[in-house]
A = this chain, B = another copy of it.
Amino acid sequence: MTVVVDVDTPGGRYPIHIGPGRLDSLDACIPADATSIVVVTNPVVGELYGARAVAALQRTGKRVLRIDLPDGEAHKDWQTLNLIFDGLLENRCDRRAVLVALGGGVIGDMTGFAAAVYMRGIRFVQVPTTVLAQVDSSVGGKTAVNHPLGKNMIGAFHQPIAVEIDTDVLRTLPAREISAGLAEVIKYGLILDPEFWQWCEAHAAALRALDRDALAHAIRRSCELKAQVVGKDERESGLRAILNLGHTFGHAIESGLGYGVWLHGEAVGCGMVQAAELSALVTGFPRADVDRVRKLVAAIGCPVTAPDLGAERWLSLMQVDKKAEGGEIKFVLMPRIGQAVSRTAPDDAVRDVLKRTVA
C-alpha cells in the first residue's frame, strides 16, 4: 500500500510516495520530456539497489546512466560533486536531464545541489534509502556540500519533483543508521506534536526492530510534519528553523570530531539532549521532561553523552554555524514537549549545559 504526502512550496509542488516496493515503479515519476535519466548513488547502495532502480527507469525508454560517488560524509565536498558534473558533461546531458538520488542524506544533498546548479538548475527525484533521509533530508529542498570550515555551508534550496520512499530498503540498513534516523523522527514529536512524541516513547523498541507498521506510521507522520513546516517557510526565514533542534550542538560534534566519526543523526540525537538541558535553563522546560528526552534518545539507540572538545572549542564551533547571526549563537529551544522556539542563549548557560552533557 502506498501513502501519498503532498509538499507545496513556492519553489515547487511534489508528492512523497511512501510504501514497500516503490523502487520498482520509479519510471512513473519521470516526466515525458526528460532527455536522459542519471542515477547518482554510492557503491554500497548501488550494489544493493542500483540494478533494480535502473531497470525500472529503463522502462521509460530513455537513456539511463549511473554515477557512483564514494560513500560517506567525508566525501560530501566539491571534488566529489564534480564527479557528477563530469559525468553529465561527458555524456552531454542537457537541461532536460533528470537526476535520481539513490541513497542516504549525503547522496541526496549532493545530487540535489548538483541539480540546483548544473546549467543553472535541472530536475531531480529523491529516492532516500536511510531512515534519516526518508524522514528529513529528502523532503524540503535543502541541498548542500560541506566546506572545510563548516558543514553544509555551500548549497541551495532546490525542490525535487518527487520523493519515492521504499520502506523495504531499510531492512538492509545497519542498526546504527536506524538509530541515527530515529533521532530525527522523535525530533518532530518534540518540536511539533506531543501525541506523536508519546507514540514514539511507546514504540521505540518496535521502531528499532523495524516493525513494518510502526516504521510506516513514523515515516508518514514525520513527512507530514516536515511538509507542513516547509510549506509555510521554504527558505528558513523563521518557522523552518525549529527543524534544526539539536543541530547547533550536533554540527559542533560532527565538525569537532571530523565529519563521519559520528553519524549526523547520532549528533542530532545527542544535540537534542543538550538542547533540552539548555531549554531547562532558558525557557523553563521541565526537568522531568529533560529526563524523558534523554531516556527516549537512549531508547532509540543514540548517544546521550557528548564528546569532550573543550568548552571554548565547542563555543567556537557553534558560532560558525549558519544559524549564528551578528555574532550571537541561535538555538532551537523547547518551552514544553511539542513546542519549539528559535532564540539566542547566554554563553554561560551553554557552558553549564556542556558541563552536564560532555563525557
Report A55-98 CB contacts with B as 1/0, cut-off 8 Å.
00000000000000000000000100010011001101011100
Which of under 10, 10 to 19, 20 to 34, or 35 or more describes the interface residues of A?
35 or more
Is there an interface contact between B153 and A85, defined as CB atoms closer than 8 Å?
yes
CB distance from A5 to the nearest CB of B (A): 23
Q: Is A319 interfacial (CB-CB < 8 Å)?
A: yes
Is there an interface contact between B78 and A82, defined as CB atoms closer than 8 Å?
yes
Is there an interface contact between B322 and A235, defined as CB atoms closer than 8 Å?
no
Contacts of A149 in B (CB 8 A): 85-86, 89-90
CB distance from A51 to the nearest CB of B (A): 27
Known A89-B147, A320-B92: A118·B326 in contact at CB below 8 Å = no
Report A145-178 CB contacts with B as 1/0, cut-off 8 Å.
0010110011111000000000000000000000
CB distance from A314 to the nearest CB of B (A): 16
CB distance from A88 to the nearest CB of B (A): 8
Q: Is A352 interfacial (CB-CB < 8 Å)?
A: no
Contacts of A251 in B (CB 8 A): none
Whole-angstrom distance between the alpha carbons of A236 and B35 in the complex?
Answer: 18
Q: Kindly report how many copies of this chain are found in the complex they form together.
A: 2
Q: 10 smallest A-B Cβ distances: which pairs? A: A89-B149, A120-B155, A35-B326, A119-B322, A94-B325, A117-B154, A94-B324, A120-B156, A117-B156, A120-B157
**Interface set, chain A 104-150, CB cutoff 8 A to B:** 113, 116-121, 142-144, 147, 149-150
Closest residue of chain B to A321 (Cβ to Cβ) is: B94
Q: Given B117, B319, B325, which contacts A95 in the complex, CB threshold below 8 Å?
A: B325
Q: Given B120, B156, B236, which contacts A142 in the complex, CB threshold below 8 Å?
A: B120
Known: A92-B327, A120-B144. 20 other contacts (CB 8 A): A35-B325, A78-B78, A78-B82, A85-B154, A89-B147, A89-B149, A89-B153, A90-B149, A92-B320, A94-B322, A94-B324, A94-B325, A113-B117, A116-B156, A118-B153, A120-B142, A120-B155, A120-B235, A120-B236, A121-B157
**Interface set, chain A 13-55, CB cutoff 8 A to B:** 35
Contacts of A150 in B (CB 8 A): 89
Whole-angstrom distance between the alpha carbons of A333 and B202 in the complex?
Answer: 67
Is there an interface contact between A119 and B153, defined as CB atoms closer than 8 Å?
yes
Closest residue of chain B to A142 (Cβ to Cβ) is: B120
Can you sample 10 A-B contacts with CB below 8 Å? A89-B149, A89-B320, A92-B324, A94-B325, A96-B326, A116-B156, A117-B154, A119-B322, A120-B144, A120-B155
Whole-angstrom distance between the alpha carbons of A325 and B97 in the complex?
Answer: 9
Closest residue of chain B to A320 (Cβ to Cβ) is: B92
Is there an interface contact between B95 and A322, defined as CB atoms closer than 8 Å?
yes
Contacts of A320 in B (CB 8 A): 89, 92
Whole-angstrom distance between the alpha carbons of A157 and B35 in the complex?
Answer: 22
Whole-angstrom distance between the alpha carbons of A324 and B93 in the complex?
Answer: 9
Closest residue of chain B to A147 (Cβ to Cβ) is: B85
CB distance from A358 to the nearest CB of B (A): 24
CB distance from A113 to the nearest CB of B (A): 8
